[in-house]
Structure 1
Amino acid sequence: MTHGPATTTHHPYGTPTTPHATVRGEAHLETDPEIAHITITLTARGTDRRTTLDDLTHRNTTTLDLIKTYGDTIEKLETGTLTIRPELTRHGRAERIRAYHGTIQLTATLNDFTTLGELVTRLADHDLTRIDGPWWALRPTSPAHAAARRQAVQDALRRAREYADALDTRVDALLELRDTGTHHTPMAPAAFTARAMPFGAAGTEAATDTAPIDLEPVRQTVDAQIEATFTLIPPHLG
């Protein structure tokens, strides 16, 4: 007679001979940011649609060329929304186009915060250019996430041992480890917005004469939570 492999009965809630202890492990870390994002909005305005688009294209090319001079400190450079819209005015019963407004939005991600201050200053010196940010962040692959998870596991084991000590016994084995979430909470961006200069206005200083803006990075928080189930050596409760 052939017998199949022996099976082990799983008792999800434990038994008197294999009591379980389920605990939560938590970690809360603060760390310096690794990258920063800024948004650059370029604007053009004119009475002719073609001229407005040409002005916007020129401003976009100039801005991209400037950003790209910073090489590897720019981790990502993306073009967002491009809009060209007419501004209507009413004459009698008819609507006429008074002017055209054009905007284009760029997003840059930097890993060097000294470069960030210099770049923001130079961009803010351009006409009809608005800069929003920075938004500080960690990369998805940041070691801080793994560090938080390790601390959460250690916290769970510490709690399990404390419960076991209260029962005058010891933790025996790990049954289950469940990740209930690792969260990175970006802190609020610095209160910096360089708004566009009025139409037709020109910068009064060359970028080389303007000191870079000193931007202080905002520390980031990483939270991790786990649940772990351990078996205990049966305690003597009598």
Structure 2
Amino acid sequence: MPTEFTVRGSHSAFQSPERGTAHVTLAFQGPALQPVYDRVAGDLDAVRASIQELHDPAQGPVTWWSTQQVRTWAQRPWNKDGKQLPLVHHASVGVRVKFRDFARLATWVGRLVSSADGFRLDGVEWALTEARRVELERAVRTHAVQDAVRRAQEYADALGLGQVRPVAVADAGMLSQGISPMGGGGPAGFMRMAAKDSGGGAELELAPEDIEVSAEVDARFVAD
């Protein structure tokens, strides 16, 4: 009667990011709605102009960008004594800009930080291009299957059995009861940009981490 082995194979690959998407917010507040709205709208026009001069989908440095609609709202804050204060109006808008040139990304952010009071960098999302991610996913799945084969054969060798042969291969979790595949590969990194003083003014420093692409497979083998 053949002996059955069920194993899990895994593999991970790491690569430096190829794209960095800046998540930006322009926001102001004040006692009257129209000046606040006009300030955000004016800064948004300036930011759009700075992006358009860099935008080239094929060559970059900006390969893609988008803006949201300007949001407005109002609230009555309370002071520390529990007294309600006058109405405060808010306006904000989100902007996303994807760069392939990280030095130009740092320069663009640094210029806007110094020139727009309401500019805030919420973070940078680091990613691979779609073609490179697909290529890496294919490679790590292949290595994960090879890892499963190696594990199964090691078990068979330890028992003094012969060559194993596969009878089932699936995404991790799908050979178990309930069929609940486990996700492979982590999300794109959402990392920081730090500002440091180099003596001649603020200098932005990128801190991207390598992108991890991983795969796990479950496999069932038998050996006679």
Q: Tell me if TM exceeds 0.5.
A: yes
Q: What corresponds to 1:198 in structure 2?
A: none
User: Structure 2 counterpart of 1:157, which letter?
Assistant: V
Q: C-alpha root-mean-square deviation of aligned residues, in Å? A: 3.0
Contact 1:132 1:192 in 2 (8 A): no
Q: What corresponds to 2:127 in structure 1?
A: 137
143, 156, 160: which one pairs with 1:164? 156
181, 184, 193: which one pairs with 1:182? 184
Aligned residues: 198
Q: What corresponds to 2:64 in structure 1?
A: 76
Distance 1:229 1:115 in 2: 50
Q: What corresponds to 1:118 in structure 2?
A: 107
Structure 2 unaligned spans of 5+: 79-83, 173-182
Percent identity of paired positions between Structure 1 and Structure 2: 25
50, 66, 79: which one pairs with 1:66? 50
Matched, 1:230 2:213: no
Contact 1:133 1:192 in 2 (8 A): no
Matched, 1:104 2:96: no
Contact 1:134 1:189 in 2 (8 A): yes
State the SS of the aligned residue for 1:183.
coil
Q: Residue by residue, what CA displacement relative to the aligned partner does 1:50-89 show, whole Å, maximum 9, x if unpaired? A: 3332222111111112122222333432334632233548
State the SS of the aligned residue for 2:115.
coil
Structure 1 unaligned spans of 5+: 1-15, 195-208
Distance 1:227 1:80 in 2: 43
Distance 1:231 1:189 in 2: 45
Q: Residue by residue, what CA displacement relative to the aligned partner does 1:195-217 show, whole Å, maximum 9, x if unpaired? A: xxxxxxxxxxxxxx978634142
User: Structure 2 counterpart of 1:112, which letter?
Assistant: D
How does the TM-score come out when normalised to structure 1? 0.70
State the SS of the aligned residue for 2:17.
coil
Q: CA deviation at 1:222?
A: 2.6
Q: CA deviation at 1:176?
A: 0.9
Distance 2:201 2:190 in 1: 27
Q: Specify the structure having the higher radius of gyration (Cα).
A: 1
Seen in structure 2, the aligned counterparts of structure 1 residues 216 and 89 have a Cα distance that, compared at 3 Å, is closer
Question: Structure 1 residues 185-194 or 222-231, which shifts more?
Answer: 185-194
Contact 2:148 2:217 in 1 (8 A): yes
Seen in structure 2, the aligned counterparts of structure 1 residues 117 and 160 have a Cα distance that, compared at 3 Å, is same
Distance 1:99 1:164 in 2: 72
